[in-house]
Amino acid sequence: MTRNQILAVGSVALDSVETPFGKEEEALGGSATYFGASARFFYPVSLVAVVGEDFPKKHLDLMKKLGVCCDGIKVEKGKSFRWQGFYDYDLNSARTLKTHLNVFASFKPALSVKDRESRFVFLANIDPDIQTSVLRQVRAPSLTACDTMNYWIKNKRKSLVSLLNKIELFLCNDSEARELSGEYNLVKAARWVLSKGPKLFVIKKGEHGVICFSKSFVFLAPAYLLEKVFDPTGAGDSFAGGFIGYLARASRINEAVVRRAVIYGSVLASYNVESFSLNRVARLTPADIEKRYREFKAITRF
């Protein structure tokens, strides 16, 4: 029987990040982590990922405390996935200093009987072949979404385009949209993506906000204006968490729901970048979320 949860498959990692405002070593990170910490405000989330034996227990304890199901996080022999990145004052793009895939290199998720029944699926940025294999294991999802990155666009293009035909919702950033479609203009890039299968296409533009395309409407949302952006790591996955979480909670998905979902995604992303790792989002309350949602109304209404 279909299970009311969002299955999120992606990375659970140890991030070392330096920004002009500070640095953090081996903090809790990863696409599935950021997604789950945001989506849990709206809907039950179950993560599927892999970590090494060295993965700090406190990190998994935190995720569980936040209400995120971690039964699908496998602990394997070896070291955890580590990412080291650096941001300059232009916080929109990370410079990757080191990527050690470690146990993540042989990640081949086999879903539990429960997870196969998930009603919603988010395939965070991993190899599109793995994304496809996970999707195949879910019996009857009512909404499926995926993200990607330039590496897969370049090296697994065919698999990725084939995956687009199997999902309803595709998210990526503006440069990825351009690279994937071969179109510099984002309207043309969106038309290309929508022709490949997805019903909704969300282009994440970092500090410049989000554009959500469907065949019947376009919605533009700005990013929240922050005086202090501490660390943009995870902003895109936090957005996806708020966005898909809100869609999952809605009894029916229509245009008005999608627009509000984009704003909830933007709210979560804006809180996430206020601190390193999950420091801010872990302390967030539903009241904080509603407050910023109203602020989005105030800064955009005319």
**252 interacts with a copy of itself by CB under 8 A:** no
Q: Tokens in use for 50?
A: 């892999």
- CA 146 to CA 240: how far, in whole Å? 9
What single-letter amino acid sits at 239? F
Residues whose CB falls within 8 Å of the CB of residue 23, separated by 6 or more in sequence, listed in order: 16, 17
Closest CB 11 distance from a copy of itself, rounded Å: 29
7 touches a copy of itself by CB under 8 A: no
Among 260, 279, 282, 288, which residue interacts with a copy of itself (rule: CB under 8 A)? 260
Name the strands in the sheet holding 118-123, side by side, starting at the edge strand that comes first in the sequence.
69-76, 45-52, 3-9, 118-123, 143-147, 169-173, 200-204, 210-214, 218-221
Cβ 225 to a copy of itself shortest distance, Å: 6
Distance CA 219, CA 213 (A): 7
- Residue where the block lists tokens 């405000």: 41
Nearer to a copy of itself, 188 or 196 (CB): 188
Interacting span for a copy of itself (CB under 8 A) from 36-44, 54-62, 119-127, 253-261? 253-261
Give residues 187-216 in contact with a copy of itself (rule: CB under 8 A). Answer: 187-188, 205, 208-209, 211
Which of these, 205, 198, 197, lies nearest to 176 by C-alpha position? 205
Smallest gap from Cβ 177 to a copy of itself, in A, equals 13
Choices 23-31, 66-74, 152-160, 186-194; region in contact with a copy of itself by CB under 8 A: 186-194
Cα separation of 32 and 125, whole Å? 9
- Three-state DSSP class for residue 273: coil
Interface region with a copy of itself, contact rule CB under 8 A, candidates 103-111, 121-129, 258-266, 268-276: 258-266
Distance CA 199, CA 195 (A): 9
Q: Which is nearer to a copy of itself, 98 or 301 (CB)?
A: 301
Binding status of residue 287 toward a copy of itself by CB under 8 A: no
> How far is it, in rounded angstroms, from Cα 249 to Cα 265?
13
Q: Which is nearer to a copy of itself, 140 or 187 (CB)?
A: 187
Query: Do the beta carbons of residue 42 and residue 14 sit within 8 Å?
Result: no
Q: Interface residues for a copy of itself in 90-109 (CB under 8 A)? A: 90
What is the smallest separation between the CB atom of 122 and a copy of itself, expressed in angstroms?
22
- With respect to a copy of itself, which residue has the nearer C-beta, 55 or 224? 224
Task: Find, among 57, 101, 61, 110, the residue nearest to 81 by Cα.
Answer: 101
| Residue whose CB is less far from a copy of itself, 139 or 259 | 259
Q: Which residues bind a copy of itself (CB under 8 A)?
A: 89-90, 184-188, 205, 208-209, 211, 217-222, 225-229, 256, 259-260, 262-263, 296-302
